[in-house]
Amino acid sequence: MGLLDDQQSRCTQNADTVPKRIGVLTGGGDSPGLNAAIRAATLTAIRKYGMEVIGFVDGFNGLFDPEGGTVPLGVDDVQGIEALGGTILGTASRGNPFRMVVRDEQGNPILGPDGKARTVDRSAEAAERLKELGIGGLLTIGGDGTLSMAREFYEKFGVPVVGVPKTIDFDLSGTEATFGFKTAVQVASEALDRLRTTADSHDRVLILELMGRYAGWIALHAGLAGAAHAILLPELPYDPRAVWERITNRFRRQRKFSLVVIAEGARPVGGDYAVAEERAHPAGLPVLGGAGPRLRAELEALNEEEHARVLSEGGNPPEAPEIRVVVLGHIQRGGTPLADDRIIATACGSFAVDMVVRGLFGYMSAWTHLGPKAVRLDEATVPHLIEPDTEPLVQLARDIGICLGDGPDTAGDNC
């Protein structure tokens, strides 16, 4: 008997503890596979346990809207949604009940003396709302932010929460996969395949900026799959000159195009993250963006530096490659999820309902190669980042000659 069969068998044996009603919400950024998780949780709750299922609209925000904040979820409501991107329940990345933004009558944030939006703790109100609705288990489908809020609800108020690991960034611990990640990597890999042909045709360097925040998993996996010539990660600050040497060496050996993958959280040695927008919300993380354009500017500055130096020495400056930037952005989040992501989402969503029956609150339904298992939320929300010195895929990239921006170009004639 495998891990999945064994744990689900024990869930069935404890069916006398089945609550009458559970809630489901999706929080944070959208991710391929959310609807598959909603579908699996709903069908398991109804068909296996005879529960009633309530969906909360727009994440935790639905707890504060007595009019349209909830929707009933029945078997017919979730038919055919497994292949849909996004989430039928909606989501919100700024709906933190512990730090809710105070708004005026027009719905605009009220700013404090520091220029940031004022917030108020409405978590007790949210916990009471769940009691009023008779929610015997709340499935919180999300990433590190959403699951950290779920953990806080459990620890402070004893709210019966069970997490489900959704994030394209793959930055949750205690799970071998988070649904949405594989689809994001596939989209990025296909983008590299397409960029390769146009880069080759025009003898250009194309920089592809990818999502992932402070985790470089998407960039590392996609860069390897798409045969990038350089991959720059948040966990490994880069030297622009190392990248410049790689692309110019290739260009001057008549391999005139190069593909450079850069994670949005990548930063140069001694530099900070590229920020596209500072959020007004006091607890809101900045919107990362601009790592690709910044790298282009750094590389072009090195081209100009070489040009001026050669001229000053009385030489004829060599030709430098043309550099363009592509920011893939939210294309990585949307669209049809891959089969793998649907399977992971389905299994973890279903098992989360089993965990409710077992009373495994304060845990996350994690994925392993043997099937789902329960992992404590305080373990799951530990950041899962790349360890450059020990990560096998980083070593693989080095072994096959990919530039990681942390040293001189040693590939020479083989680049």
Q: What type of residue is 222? A: A
Choice among 169, 171, 341, 409 that is catalytic: 169
Contact 258, 402 (CB under 8 A): no
Burial 204-230 (b: 16+ CB within 10 A, else e): bbbbbbbbbbbbbbbbbbbbbebebbb
Report yes or no: 174 and 379 within 8 Å, Cβ to Cβ: yes
Q: How many CB atoms lie within 10 A of CB 22?
A: 28
| Token reading at 233 | 């990660």
- Catalytic status, residue 65: no
Separation of alpha carbons 403 and 196, rounded Å: 17
Q: Which of 346, 381, 349 is nearest to 365 (CA)?
A: 349
* End-to-end CA gap in the chain: 50
Look at phi and psi of residue 272 and say left if phi exceeds 0, alpha if psi is from -120 to 50, else beta: beta
SS3 string, 52-118, reads EEEEECCHHHHHHCCCCCEEEECCHHHCCCCCCCCCCCCCCCCCCHHHEECECCCCCECECCCCCEC
| H-assigned helices in 174-318 | 181-202, 217-225, 240-252, 291-312
**Paired tokens of 295:** 């790298």
Whether the CB-CB separation of 357 and 164 falls below 8 Å is answered with no
Tell me if 167 sits within 8 A of 332, measured CB to CB: no
Give dist(CA 61, CA 12) in Å, integer.
33
Where in the sequence numbering do the catalytic residues fall? 169
